[in-house]
Amino acid sequence: MRGKRTYLAVFLVLAIAVATLGTRLLAGGAGQDAKAGVAGDSPRASSATGEVQLGQNASLGGRRPFPDDNPWNLDISQEPVDPNSSTYIASIGASASLHPDFGFMWNGAPCGIPYVVVPGDQSKVPVRFRYASESDPGPYPIPADAPSDPAEQHILVIDRDNWKLYELIGARKEGEGWRAAAGAAFNLSSNDLRPAGWTSTDAAGLPVFAGLVRYDEVMEQKEIRHALRFTAPRTRHAYVYPARHFASRSTDPALPPMGLRVRLKASYDISSFPPSARVILTALKKHGMMLADNGGGWFLTGTADSRWPAKEIEELKRVKGSDFEVVSVGEIVTR
């Protein structure tokens, strides 16, 4: 799935067999649980207070990760279209539908990637990495019952008080700590990037959390103020800013580089879509989405959350690849 990280193909088959696909987000005292070193299941709504809450899929209260001038947060609605836009769109699938990779699975379990918000005094635990050379060393403030997605075992942790993000992929509990394929830490108050050529828990070397479609933004804030994350079936041996890594051996110039940024065309009429879908589509016009990994064509990543209005989210599939355009890519790195 991830170019040089082919080990995941075997690992994920085993992981899926033991993953808890039926995990539900139950009501309870998530804030107190997280303080005690337990992630908890219950999100804490906070749109009225504007405060970042604690717990699984907790609301950030409108607070936006990274500075306003960070690439994730820029308004790219007026940026020029790349000369190769139609070629890139065709390679991903001009007639293929936008696919919300969140909501619910066939068995009713939430689909997507969860996250957990912890306090600044959350105990830090050791993490052993398979690919330590491109991982930020531990310890990481990971609760013992941190939620993860069944597909790739991502663990995403936001340290609320120190405003830092910690991410793992291929994560499994090991003694008092964890072991993982790779890990990355991000200062949410900084624009610092990964070193050139480094991956992260995403093939493009980007933070996964930054590009998620989150329930608190869509349903509470009614606005997404950052770019989103998507995948493509085939990518090029290349990346563009702010990506830092590629995951392909192909040098075909028709294939998209990691970090490719696309936006929904301004002329696309979203007035007939339900409210939650309109929030997402508005963000895709203003902030667009970044190519972050190899995967399904036009797969848009969101949080695993039982509160999603499934029927409304499904309406996003009406959007086709041809309804997008590629923003000027700038310098393409191939080494």
DSSP, residue by residue, 4-38: T-THHHHHHHHHHHHS-TT-----S-HHHHHHTT-
CA distances 145 to 37, 230, 277, Å, are: 9, 27, 32
Phi and psi based region of residue 185 (left: phi greater than 0; alpha: psi -120 to 50; beta: remaining):
beta
Helix (H) or strand (E) holding 232: strand 228-232
- Given a contact cutoff of 8 angstroms between Cβ atoms, the answer to whether 327 and 288 are in contact is yes
Q: Which of 205, 70, 188 is nearest to 136 (CA)?
A: 205
Report residue 9 as tokens. 């193909």
Q: Give the span between the Cα atoms of 56 and 304, in whole angstroms.
A: 10
**CA gap 288, 79 in Å, rounded:** 11
Complete DSSP assignment for 166-203? EEEES-EEETTEEEESEEEEEETT----PPTT---SST
For residue 118, report the phi and psi dihedrals to the nearest 5 degrees. Answer: -120, 160
Tokens encoding 122: 């959350």
**How many Å apart are CA 226 and CA 70, to the nearest integer?**
9
What is residue 104's predicted lDDT score, i.e. its pLDDT? 74
Closest among 196, 197, 231 to 212, alpha carbons compared: 231
143 vs 46: CA distance, rounded Å: 22
DSSP string, 264-329: E-TT---TTS-HHHHHHHHHHHHT-EEEEEESSTTEEEB---TTS-HHHHHGGGG-BGGGEEEB--
The enclosing H or E element of 117 equals: strand 116-118
Biggest CA–CA distance in the chain, Å, is 54
What pLDDT, on the 0 to 100 scale, is given for residue 109?
73
Long-range CB contacts for residues 26-30, cutoff 8 Å, separation at least 24: 30/54, 30/55, 30/56, 30/58
pLDDT for res 62: 95
Mean pLDDT by 10 residues, the chain (335 residues): 40 36 33 32 45 96 97 98 98 98 76 96 97 96 95 96 98 95 98 96 97 97 98 98 97 98 98 98 98 97 94 96 97 95
Residue 216 dihedral angles phi and psi, to the nearest 5° = -65, -35
Domain residue spans of the chain: 7-333
pLDDT at 5: 44
* CA–CA distance, 234 with 246 (Å, rounded to integer): 11
Q: What is the pLDDT of residue 3?
A: 44
Predicted local confidence at residue 106, as pLDDT: 59
**Rounded distance between C-alpha atoms, residue 322 and residue 92, angstroms:** 10
CA pair distance 253, 72, nearest whole angstrom? 25
pLDDT at 49: 53
β partners of residue 100: 300
Phi, psi (rounded to 5 degrees) for 28:
165, -175
Burial class (CB in 10 A: 0-12, 13-18, 19+), 311: exposed
